[in-house]
Structure 1
Amino acid sequence: MIDDAAKEYLHSDLREAREVMLWKLDGLGEYDVRRPLTSTGTNLLGLVKHLSVWESRYFGEVFDRPFPEPLPRWDDLGERGTDLWVTEHETRAEIIDRYRRVGRHADATISSLSLDSPGHVPWWPRPRVKLFNILVHMLTETSRHAGHADILREQLDGSTGTAARSAAPGQDAAHWEAHRARIERAAEAAVAAPAQHGDGPAPGPARTAP
Structure 2
Amino acid sequence: MIDDFAKEYLHGQLKVTREALVWKLDGLSEYDVRRPLTATGTNLLGLVKHMATWEARYLGEIFGRPFPEPLPRWQDAEGSDLWVTQNETREQIIGFYQRAWDHADATIRELPIDAPGRVPWWPRPGVKLFNMMAHVLQDTTRHAGHADILRERLDGRTGVMAEYEERIDAAARAAHRAKIERAAQAVDGSAVKTRGD
TM band (smaller chain) = over 0.9
Indicate which of 179, 182, 185 corresponds to 1:182.
179
Match of 2:13 in 1: 13
Residue segments in structure 2 that go unaligned for 5+ positions in a row? none
Match of 2:112 in 1: 114
Q: Which has the larger radius of gyration?
A: 1
Alignment of structure 1 residues 143-182 onto 2, 5 Å: 143-172=141-170, 174-182=171-179
Amino acid at match of 2:35: R
Amino acid at match of 1:63: F
Q: Distance in 2 between the 1:182 and 1:136 partners?
A: 38
User: Normalising by the residue count of structure 1, what TM-score does the alignment of the two structures yield?
Assistant: 0.89
CA deviation after TM superposition for structure 1 residue 147, in Å: 0.2
Larger mean Cα displacement after TM superposition, 64-73 or 163-172: 163-172
Match of 1:139 in 2: 137
Change (3 A) 1:76 1:156: closer
Residue segments in structure 1 that go unaligned for 5+ positions in a row? 195-199, 203-210
Q: Distance in 1 between the 2:168 and 2:59 partners?
A: 38
Match of 1:33 in 2: 33
Match of 2:125 in 1: 127
User: What is the RMSD computed on CA atoms of the aligned residues?
Assistant: 1.6
Native 8 Å contact 2:47 2:82 kept in 1: yes
CA deviation after TM superposition for structure 1 residue 190, in Å: 2.0
Native 8 Å contact 2:116 2:129 kept in 1: yes
Q: Distance in 1 between the 2:113 and 2:194 partners?
A: 52
User: Normalising by the residue count of structure 2, what TM-score does the alignment of the two structures yield?
Assistant: 0.94
Match of 1:105 in 2: 103
Q: Distance in 2 between the 1:76 and 1:17 partners?
A: 26
1:72 aligns with 2:89: no
Cα distance per residue 1:124-171 (max 9 Å; x no partner): 110000001000000000000000000000001100000011113321
Change (3 A) 1:159 1:76: closer
Native 8 Å contact 2:72 2:80 kept in 1: no
Please state whether the residue corresponding to 1:90 is helix, strand or coil: coil
Larger mean Cα displacement after TM superposition, 176-185 or 41-50: 176-185
Amino acid at match of 2:124: R
Match of 1:193 in 2: 190
Cα distance per residue 1:154-196 (max 9 Å; x no partner): 0011000000111133212x322221111011111123335xx
Match of 1:205 in 2: none
Cα distance per residue 1:36-75 (max 9 Å; x no partner): 0111110000000000001000011100000111112213
Q: Distance in 1 between the 2:34 and 2:194 partners?
A: 43
